[in-house]
Amino acid sequence: MSDFSQVFRDDFNGSQLDRGIWKAVYSGEYHNEMFRWDPSQIQVGDGRLTIATERAEDGWVSGGLATIPDGQTYGSYEFRARVDAGQGTAAAILLWPSDNEWTDEVDIVETHRPDREAFAFTNHGDPQVTEYIDTDVSQWHTYRLDWTPGELTLWVDGQQKSRITTDVPEQSMSFGVQGQVMADHETWFGGGPDGSTPDRVEIELDWVKVSAWTPGEGDSGNTPATPPAEAEAGTEAEFAAPAQSSERQVAEPAAAESGDPWAQYTVNGQIDWEAAAAAVQANYEATGQWFL
């Protein structure tokens, strides 16, 4: 008997998004003015969800979706996914408050590197904590986040990779997936697109399984162990109201816990001025005030 009971599983069978699960499909301009979300960038076909980020005549366009307003407090989130490489593009697979008001955020997989050779796992608490996981996100992997009171535990392909216990969310959270295009000043992501950036970058999910936290009363469930065969995605999508997103800046976890405001930007005794400046910029964009 496990501590989790399945709430839903989506294997993306058929040719349309299951709107009984994915109740929010994003649309509208993103705040960094580099791209817009459009439901047409979400495709379901051949047992796969594809979210495309594409170069358009008037800029970049991407897709995003979430279970908002449905959510839960604590649970397990498991999925098999891959993300194309692409300078200036990013993907975030995350937990977001079910009321769509930013107070907490957990980025399960966030592609902070254009080559996708590693990803960031972040709890946007106080202090914010990020751990960097050496995994080639451009290849198929199975990811699982177990969220229980006071603890976030991350697994990749069945191996525990991280555990965060600082300021863990205590409110109802929803599960979401979104593409992004970064601005030149967003240096933590490597800046914006350049001549090397493909015209189309895809986020692909083979399946998603979400379970509730039911200590000692759960079901074991089954998880596919092999990656899917290559296939073309479908083309149909449906529409819903937009969701909002925050600016994401991160710090190394050990430094963030020290109490020194500069410690989270210090590596081997040297301050990373670029990271500190990015944090100040993010704070200004979020609050209208300059502070670290």
| 251 vs 154: CA distance, rounded Å | 18
Cis peptide before 69 (omega within 30 of 0): yes
Residue 284's pLDDT is what?
Answer: 42
Tell whether the model's pLDDT for residue 266 goes beyond 80: no
> pLDDT-based confidence at 2, cuts 50/70/90?
confident
Predicted local distance difference test score (pLDDT) of residue 269: 52
Q: Does the predicted model carry a pTM greater than 0.85?
A: no
Average pLDDT score over residue span 21-47: 96
> Mean pLDDT in the chain?
83
> Quick one: average pLDDT of 60-70?
98
Averaged pLDDT, 147-153: 98
pLDDT at 124 exceeding the cut of 50: yes
Residue-by-residue DSSP string for the chain: --SEEEEEEE---SSS--TTT--EE--EE-TTSSEEE-GGGEEEETTEEEEEEEEETTEEEE-EEE-TT--BSSEEEEEEEEE---TTEEEEEEEEETTS--S--EEEEE--STT-S-EEEEE-SSS-EEEEE---TTS-EEEEEEEETTEEEEEETTEEEEEE-SS---S-EEEEEEEEE--TT-GGGT-S--TTS-SEEEEEEEEEEEEEE-TT---------SPPPP----------------------HHHHTSS-TTGGGEETTEE-HHHHHHHHHHHHHHHSS---
Which domains, and CATH codes, for the chain?
A: 4-248 (2.60.120.200), 251-292 (no CATH)
What average pLDDT does the segment 45-71 reach?
Answer: 96
What is the pLDDT at residue 47?
96
- The predicted structure's pLDDT at residue 109: 98
* Residue 251 pLDDT: 29
Q: What's residue 191's pLDDT?
A: 95
In this prediction, residues 48-67 reach a mean pLDDT of: 96
Instruction: Give the pLDDT confidence score for residue 219 in this predicted structure.
Output: 83
Q: What is the mean pLDDT of residues 17-42?
A: 96
pLDDT at 138: 98
The residues that bridge with 204 in the sheet, in sequence order, are 50, 82
Residue 281 has pLDDT above 60, yes or no: no
Q: Is the pLDDT of residue 268 over 90?
A: no
Please give the average per-residue pLDDT across 139-157, as a whole number: 98
- pLDDT attached to residue 237: 30
| Better-scored residue on pLDDT, 87 or 244 | 87
More confident site: 100 or 283: 100
* pLDDT tens digits, one per residue of 151-163: 999 999 999 999 9
Q: What would the pLDDT profile of 191-236 be if each residue is shown by its tens digit?
A: 999 999 999 999 999 999 999 999 988 885 544 434 333 333 332 3
**Average pLDDT in the 278-291 region?**
46
Q: What integer pLDDT is reported at residue 1 of this predicted model?
A: 54
